[in-house]
Structure 1
Amino acid sequence: MPHAVIFDMDGVLIDSEPYWTEAEQYIFNQLGVRLPPEITAQTAGMSTKAVTALWYAHSPWTGMTLAEAEQAVIDYVARAVVERGQAKSGLLPLLQQLSEQKIPLAVATNSPASLMHTVLDHLQIRHYFQALCSIEDVSQGKPQPDIYHLAAQRLGVPSRHCLVFEDSVTGMTAALAAGMQVIALPADHHWHKAEYQQALSKIRNYHELPAEPAQWLQLSAVD
């Protein structure tokens, strides 16, 4: 059984990845940036600051600073979360089960703290977590492992005893670099990416997990 469980946020606690796509399209298109799919496919799991810098390097704009563009994207996503956000299927009973079994829980997200708090409050799940880690808490976001090491430290559990739920290759890379095991929840259009072979397994939602956390670490390798 894992001694602690750490959750990414976007695409893991809440089905918010489409909101990021909407936000980037809306904000950056207003700035005259066209978002080629081959570049958009690289941004999953990246921090908003890194994504903004990527698009600016691709197509520099005027009239808005990078910091203003970054905040505009975050504000768009926050509004979408409050208006439309729903928990990942099976998340709420899973959190209740882990809480009853007294397994320490943390959030580790490349999103800013303001958005993390918006999501936790909207879903009414803040009370389940003993540690909350956002991009502002570390000098380097995912794919670097810093935020996962920090989450383990705040939970008081060695990294090697932590299990992570991640949806992106970027996040999975960070968790694996921290010495943690990963169960992946890829988006449908990323389901067959070869990189997910590194995870213990991959699931579409939490209903697909075995009933007991003790069984999670014996899951079959991904296909």
Structure 2
Amino acid sequence: MALQAVIFDMDGVLVDSEGFWAQAELDVFSSYGVQVTEELAANTKYMTTREVTEFWYERFPWENLDVASVEQKVITRVIEYIQSEDCTMSGVQGFIKDLKSKDYKIGLATNAPLQVADAVLEKLQVRDLFDTVHSSEFETQGKPHPAVYLTSAKNLGVPPEHCIAIEDSHSGLLAAKGAGMKTIVFTNNDESIDFDNADFRILNFEQTLLPLFG
């Protein structure tokens, strides 16, 4: 397999931000009368921000503000958390720079809105290392649908079979697999995580680059 490109997921891979989304959604939706419960929130974990907002609106419709405006409030809150909290995955900048020095093309494929991706790359100061940054907000379906990965590969000019995706979720791995890519699950040092649909596993970004990358 001649790898030419590495495509990163964002939340849970570049930044430890999953908790920011949960808190932002609780903050914003509760302020509009939504009764956010853990049981219902579990259904939204892998949705796009628009899908999450529509999910809550259907159950607890609010007045005086459209869905898009409430969605933007969630996005703004998440960006505030990213900018103010220490959430960078340890070693990830060096990992990306090492890949770039080996002439791999680098991509980002996320279900999160592009505004959030831009904030993350600015925080990590790695925007210039990415050849493409793509969000599911520009696709008809988010992960686990493969669209965001297929478009990312197209933007990179690399066939999907020559790309490898780094993901932290079953949903993301399904999306990359569906696009025909090899996959790496990133576990953030949790040795109990070992998705059987991933081709490889990385515990953290401070270990030596896998032999896979040469």
TM-score, with length taken from structure 2: 0.89
CA shift at 1:126, angstroms?
Answer: 0.3
TM alignment of 1:124-143, pairs within 5 A: 124-143=125-144
CA shift at 1:16, angstroms?
Answer: 1.2
Match of 2:159 in 1: 158
Match of 1:101 in 2: 102
- 1:180–1:23: structure 2 CA closer, same or farther, 3 Å change rule? same
CA shift at 1:169, angstroms?
Answer: 2.4
CA shift at 1:27, angstroms?
Answer: 0.7
Q: Distance in 2 between matches of 1:29 and 1:188?
A: 33
CA contact (8 A) 1:2 1:213 kept: no
Match of 1:207 in 2: 206
Q: Distance in 1 between matches of 2:71 and 2:189?
A: 26
Deviation beyond 4 Å, 4+ runs, structure 1: 186-189
Cα displacement string for residues 13-34 of structure 1 (whole angstroms, at most 9, x for unaligned residues): 1111111011011111112222
- 1:202–1:30: structure 2 CA closer, same or farther, 3 Å change rule? farther
Q: Distance in 2 between matches of 1:51 and 1:132?
A: 22
Describe the SS at the equivalent of 1:41.
helix
Match of 2:41 in 1: 40
Aligned length: 212
CA shift at 1:159, angstroms?
Answer: 0.5
Cα displacement string for residues 183-205 of structure 1 (whole angstroms, at most 9, x for unaligned residues): 1235799x65x8x2211244442
Match of 1:72 in 2: 73
- 1:201–1:213: structure 2 CA closer, same or farther, 3 Å change rule? closer
Q: Once structures 1 and 2 are overlaid, which stretch shifts more, 106-115 or 54-63?
A: 54-63
Q: What letter matches 1:104 in structure 2? A: K
TM alignment of 1:115-130, pairs within 5 A: 115-130=116-131
Q: Distance in 1 between matches of 2:156 and 2:67?
A: 34
Structure 2, unaligned runs of 5 or more: none
Q: Distance in 1 between matches of 2:186 and 2:39?
A: 21
Cα RMSD of the aligned pairs, angstroms, is 2.3
TM-score, with length taken from structure 1: 0.85
CA contact (8 A) 2:187 2:204 kept: no
- 1:212–1:19: structure 2 CA closer, same or farther, 3 Å change rule? closer
- 1:216–1:59: structure 2 CA closer, same or farther, 3 Å change rule? farther
Q: Once structures 1 and 2 are overlaid, which stretch shifts more, 55-64 or 174-183?
A: 55-64
Describe the SS at the equivalent of 2:104.
coil
CA contact (8 A) 1:44 1:168 kept: no
| Identical-residue share of aligned pairs (%) | 36
Cα displacement string for residues 158-213 of structure 1 (whole angstroms, at most 9, x for unaligned residues): 10121111122222221111111221235799x65x8x2211244442235xx244
Structure 1, unaligned runs of 5 or more: 218-223
Q: Distance in 2 between matches of 1:37 and 1:202?
A: 29
CA contact (8 A) 1:2 1:214 kept: no
Q: What letter matches 2:205 in structure 1? A: Y
